[in-house]
C-alpha cells in the first residue's frame, strides 16, 4: 500500500540510459556511451557519440532560473563567436539549446556542450600564461556585450556575507568563523571602494581556476564551466585563479599572460590578496551550503584547517 506522505527530494541522479535517449532524440546523433563525471553543483556527464565527445550538464531544480541559464549560454556563445576557446552549447535539431528533464523533484534543464579537448593544465607554465591571456580577452571582449540583469553580481553579499552566514550555522568551528568574520570586516570596505566601471568591472568567468580548463597537445587552452559567470571585478577572476594555484611560478605565468592583453593597474594588483581571501571564503561557504547533497567529506576538518590557515597566512602577511 502506497503512503500518501510524499518525501521531498533534494536532488536526483538521472539514469544514463534515459539521458542517452533524450540526447539522441533532441540532437539527432548516435550516443555510444554516456557516463557521469561528477554530481556537484551541476551534474556533468561525458557523452561519447558517433560524432565525437560532448559534455552534458544538468542544472539542479530551482537553483538557476531559466533567464539565468540562458544568460550564461548567451555569454559563452558570444565568446565562442569571438574566437575565444570555450566549451559552448550545441544546438538541437529544433534550434533549441536546452533540454527539459522531468525529474522527481521537478523540471531540470540540461544542455549539451562541445568537449574541451586536452588534459588538465597541471604544472604547465606555458598553459598558465595562455590561460591568463584568454581570461584577459574574455574581460576585454565582454565589455562590448550588453550586461544581463539575470546574472547576479560577484559582490560583497555574494563573496562574503552569504557564505559567512552559512558557515555561522556550524557551531563546532566557532573560533574559525569568528576569525573569518574579522577578516571580512577588514577587506569588505576595501573591495567595495574599488571602481565598478569598465574595464575594471564587468562580466567575469566567476570561477576561474585551472580545474575549469584543458590544454591540448598544441598548447591551446579551452575554458569551460561558466555557471558562476556574471558582473564583478576583473581582478576577482585573477585572484580566484591565484588562490588555487599558489606557486610563484604559476602566479608569474598567469599575470604575464593577462598583462600581455590587458595590463592590470597597480590598484588591481593591490586588490589581488583581497580577492584571494574573498574567493576562498566563498568556496568554503559553497561547500557548507551543499553539505546535505555532497556529504561532509568535502567539508572535513582537515580541509577547513587548510583553508583557514591559507586565509590567515595572507591576512597576516599583507599590510592592510
Task: Tell me how far apart the alpha carbons of residues 4 and 262 are, in angstroms, rounded to a whole number.
Answer: 60
pLDDT of 306 above 80: yes
What secondary structure letter does DSSP report for 295? -
pLDDT of 106 above 60: yes
CB 29 within 8 A of CB 23: yes
pLDDT of 151 above 90: yes
CB 264 within 8 A of CB 235: yes
CB 91 within 8 A of CB 37: no
pLDDT of 271 above 70: yes
Map residue 108 onto helix, strand or coil.
strand
Quick one: pLDDT at residue 246?
81
pLDDT of 21 above 70: yes
CB 220 within 8 A of CB 130: yes
Quick one: pLDDT at residue 228?
97
Quick one: pLDDT at residue 188?
98
> Mean of the pLDDT values across residues 207-222?
96
pLDDT of 149 above 90: no
* Model confidence pLDDT, tens digit, residues 168-205: 999 989 999 999 999 999 999 999 999 999 999 999 99
> Mean of the pLDDT values across residues 91-115?
96
Q: Inter-axis angle of helices 248-259 and 234-244, to 10 degrees? A: 150
pLDDT band, very low/low/confident/very high, at 1 (cuts 50, 70, 90): low
Task: Tell me how far apart the alpha carbons of residues 16 and 31 are, in angstroms, rounded to a whole number.
Answer: 11
Please write down the HEC assignment for all residues of 9-23: CCCCCCCHHHHHHHH
pLDDT of 6 above 80: no
What secondary structure letter does DSSP report for 314? H
At residue 40's C-alpha, the angle toward residues 136 and 295, to 5°, is 135
* Model confidence pLDDT, tens digit, residues 61-86: 989 999 999 999 999 999 999 999 99
What secondary structure letter does DSSP report for 117? -
Quick one: pLDDT at residue 245?
87
pLDDT of 3 above 70: no
Quick one: pLDDT at residue 4?
61
Is-above-0.75 flag for pTM?
yes
Domains and CATH numbers, the chain: 16-114 (3.30.200.20), 125-317 (3.90.1200.10)
| Buried/exposed 9-37: b ≥16 CB within 10 Å, e otherwise | eebbebebeebbebbeebbebebeebeee
- Taking all residues of the chain, what is their mean pLDDT, rounded to a whole number? 95
Amino acid at each position: 500500500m502506497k503512503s500518501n506522505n510524499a518525501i521531498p527530494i533534494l536532488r536526483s541522479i538521472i539514469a544514463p540510459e534515459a539521458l542517452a535517449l533524450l540526447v539522441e532524440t533532441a540532437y539527432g546523433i548516435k550516443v555510444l556511451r554516456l557516463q557521469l563525471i561528477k554530481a556537484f553543483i551541476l551534474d556533468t556527464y561525458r557523452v561519447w557519440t558517433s560524432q565525437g565527445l560532448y559534455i552534458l550538464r544538468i542544472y539542479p531544480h530551482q537553483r538557476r532560473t531559466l533567464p539565468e541559464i540562458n544568460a550564461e549560454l548567451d555569454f559563452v556563445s558570444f565568446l565562442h563567436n569571438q574566437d575565444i576557446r570555450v566549451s559552448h552549447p550545441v544546438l538541437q535539431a529544433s534550434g533549441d539549446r536546452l533540454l527539459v528533464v522531468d525529474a522527481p523533484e521537478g523540471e531540470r534543464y540540461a544542455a549539451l556542450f562541445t568537449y574541451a579537448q586536452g588534459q588538465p593544465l597541471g604544472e604547465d607554465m606555458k598553459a598558465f600564461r595562455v590561460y591568463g591571456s584568454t581570461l584577459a580577452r574574455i574581460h576585454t571582449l565582454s565589455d562590448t556585450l550588453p550586461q544581463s540583469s539575470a546574472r547576479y553580481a560577484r559582490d560583497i553579499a555574494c563573496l562574503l556575507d552569504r557564505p559567512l552566514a552559512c558557515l555561522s550555522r556550524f557551531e563546532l568551528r566557532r573560533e574559525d568563523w569568528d576569525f573569518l568574520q574579522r577578516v571580512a570586516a577588514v577587506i569588505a570596505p576595501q573591495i567595495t571602494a574599488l571602481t565598478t566601471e569598465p574595464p575594471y568591472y564587468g562580466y567575469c568567468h566567476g570561477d576561474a581556476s585551472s580545474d575549469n580548463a584543458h590544454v591540448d597537445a598544441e598548447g591551446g587552452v579551452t575554458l569551460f564551466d561558466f555557471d558562476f559567470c556574471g558582473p564583478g571585478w576583473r581582478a576577482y577572476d585573477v585572484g580566484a585563479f591565484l588562490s588555487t594555484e599558489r606557486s610563484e611560478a604559476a602566479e608569474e605565468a598567469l599575470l604575464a599572460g593577462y598583462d600581455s592583453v590587458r595590463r592590470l593597474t597597480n590598484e588591481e594588483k593591490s586588490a589581488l590578496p583581497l580577492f584571494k581571501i574573498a574567493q576562498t571564503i566563498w568556496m568554503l561557504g559553497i561547500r557548507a551550503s551543499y553539505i546535505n547533497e555532497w556529504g561532509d567529506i568535502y567539508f572535513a576538518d582537515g580541509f577547513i584547517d587548510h583553508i583557514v590557515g591559507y586565509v590567515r597566512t595572507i591576512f597576516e602577511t599583507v599590510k592592510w
